[in-house]
């Protein structure tokens, strides 16, 4: 009898600020920031197909992985987190100012997907930027639904080794500490 390892959940969404990401070094700064109320995550790997013609035919073909687009929905968003993800200005009065010159910082994303056997599949994207944040405001009416924030991220290869994502399976009951640690490269 085999274990059923299909995925059936999404949780523990968070990020680290990137300290260094260049041709020789990669590291994150500080502790992982948890974004509560994770609801859904839809990652899509973006690949470009190629064909190399030689000897009057296709000699080689395949696809190059260029980036991954992730759409992550959360039920709530703190203004400080919104400012950190988008590059907006956080003010002393707890408001934020957003504008056309805001530059979203690169961050390292991580999250867990519950497996059917009770274990988790853990994901880490080494370098991602928020490219869009959307929320639909509606009247309460008879609804009990939260007005969900959908954050679109673009994950690209880190500069030192071209890695985009790491994935780890952990057994039921094992700690999810891997999400909170990012091993530096070239330190």
Residue 78 in domain: yes
The residue among 89, 85, 69 whose CA lies nearest residue 15 is 85
**Torsion-angle region of residue 131: left (phi > 0), alpha (psi -120 to 50) or beta?**
alpha
Residue 106 in domain: yes
Please report which confidence band the pLDDT of residue 58 belongs to, taking 50, 70 and 90 as the band edges: confident
Write down the pLDDT at residue 1. 44
What range does the domain containing 117 cover? 11-48+63-180
Residue 104 in domain: yes
58 or 132: which leads in pLDDT: 132
Write down the pLDDT at residue 171. 95
Residue 56 in domain: no
Residue 117 in domain: yes
Cα–Cα distance for residue pair 145/138, rounded to 1 Å: 10
Would you tell me how many other CB atoms lie within 10 Å of the CB of residue 95?
A: 10
What is the average pLDDT across 139-150? Answer: 82
Write down the pLDDT at residue 145. 79
Would you tell me how many other CB atoms lie within 10 Å of the CB of residue 107?
A: 23
Cα→Cα distances 55→49, 62, 63, Å: 20, 18, 21
> Residue 42 pairs with which residues in a beta bridge?
71
Model-level pTM? Answer: 0.88
Residue 153 in domain: yes
Residue 68 in domain: yes
Please report which confidence band the pLDDT of residue 160 belongs to, taking 50, 70 and 90 as the band edges: very high
pLDDT digits (tens, 9 = 90+) for 110-125: 999 999 999 999 999 9
Residue 172 has pLDDT above 60, yes or no: yes
Cα–Cα distance for residue pair 118/169, rounded to 1 Å: 11
- Total domains, the chain: 1
Please report which confidence band the pLDDT of residue 106 belongs to, taking 50, 70 and 90 as the band edges: very high
Write down the pLDDT at residue 16. 97
E-assigned strand segments in 26-159: 26-34, 38-54, 57-74, 89-90, 96-97, 107-114, 120-135, 149-155
**Average pLDDT of the chain, as a whole number:** 91
Please report which confidence band the pLDDT of residue 166 belongs to, taking 50, 70 and 90 as the band edges: very high
Residue 36 in domain: yes
Residue 27 has pLDDT above 80, yes or no: yes
């Amino acid at each position: 009898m085999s274990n059923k390892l299909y995925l059936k959940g999404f949780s523990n969404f968070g990020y680290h600020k990137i300290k260094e990401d260049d041709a020789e070094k990669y590291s994150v700064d500080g502790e992982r920031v948890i974004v509560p109320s994770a609801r859904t995550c839809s990652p899509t790997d973006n690949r470009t197909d190629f064909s190399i013609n030689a000897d009057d035919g296709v000699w080689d073909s395949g696809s190059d992985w260029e980036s991954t687009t992730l759409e992550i929905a959360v039920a709530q968003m703190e203004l400080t987190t919104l400012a950190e993800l988008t590059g907006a200005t956080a003010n002393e009065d707890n408001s934020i100012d957003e504008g056309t010159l805001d530059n979203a910082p690169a961050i390292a994303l991580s999250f867990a997907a519950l497996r059917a056997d009770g274990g988790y599949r853990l994901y880490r994207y080494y370098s991602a930027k928020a490219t869009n944040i959307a929320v639909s405001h509606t009247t309460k009416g008879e609804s009990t639904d939260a007005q969900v924030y959908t954050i679109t991220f673009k994950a690209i290869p880190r500069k030192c080794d071209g890695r985009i994502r790491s994935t780890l399976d952990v057994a039921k009951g094992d700690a999810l500490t891997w999400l909170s640690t990012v091993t530096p490269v070239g330190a």
